[in-house]
Amino acid sequence: MRIIVHGVGAIGGVVAAALSLSGQEVIGIARGGMLDAIRAKGLLLDSERGHEVARFPCVGHPNEIKFREDDAVLLCVKGQDTAGALADLRSAGLNRQPVFCCQNGVANEPLALRFFPNVHAVTVMMPASYLEPGEVAIHCQPSFGIFDLGRFPSGHDEADLAMAAALERANIPTLVRDDAMAPKYGKLLLNLGNITGALLPHGADCKPFDDPLREEGKAVLAAAGIGWADVGDTERRRIHMKDREKAAQGRGGNSTVQSLARGTGSVETDYLNGEIVALARTCGVEAPLNERIQLLSVELMARGGQPESLTEDQLQEKLFG
The two most distant CA atoms of the chain are separated, in Å, by: 56
What is the reported pLDDT for 252?
A: 58
What is the reported pLDDT for 15?
A: 98
Q: Nearest-5° angle of CA 61, CA 63, CA 68?
A: 115
- Domain interval for residue 110: 2-320
What is the reported pLDDT for 143?
A: 98
What is the reported pLDDT for 301?
A: 83
CATH number at residue 213: 3.40.50.720
- Count of domains for the chain: 1
Q: What is the 3-state secondary structure (H, E, C) of 9-75?
A: CHHHHHHHHHHHHCCCEEEEECCHHHHHHHHHHCEEEEECCEEEEECCCEECCHHHCCCCCCEEEEE
What is the reported pLDDT for 321?
A: 84
What is the reported pLDDT for 302?
A: 85
The number of beta carbons lying within 10 Å of the beta carbon of residue 272 is: 32
Alpha-carbon dihedral 162, 166, 168, 171, rounded to 10 degrees: -170
CB 267 within 8 A of CB 305: yes
In the chain (321 residues long), the average pLDDT of successive 10-residue segments reads 98 98 98 97 97 98 98 96 97 98 98 98 96 95 98 98 98 98 98 92 93 98 98 94 72 66 73 97 97 92 80 94 84
